[in-house]
Structure 1
């Protein structure tokens, strides 16, 4: 097995692992940067409602969807 193949295999494993959360991390938030298309996943023990409320505190006149 070449080093390049091994590198891509490890890279693919890391990409798959980013979606896994431990049992105490019951919420996974996906953030998409509109200008660049960058996607970030944040795993948290906080509820989805509390995270949405925190985010909306920066823009209080916008509805939560």
Structure 2
């Protein structure tokens, strides 16, 4: 069974080669994430502002219950 499993893993690796083996032109993981989540034309929303907004909503809900 382990042979079959390792064979399947080997096939998957053949389909999706390790991007680091491709060389210096491949981007780092962080750089890819930055491009995905922060498009250059979009205005980045500060996570702390969002968190403060959520905290305010939760706080008002909590104080209303008591």
Higher RCO by CA contacts (8 Å cutoff, separation 6 or greater): 1
TM beyond 0.5: no
Q: Larger helix proportion, structure 1 or 2?
A: 2
Q: How high is the TM-score relative to the length of structure 1?
A: 0.28
Q: Which has the larger radius of gyration?
A: 2
In terms of fraction of residues, the more strand-rich structure is: 1
**TM-score, normalized by length of structure 2?**
0.28
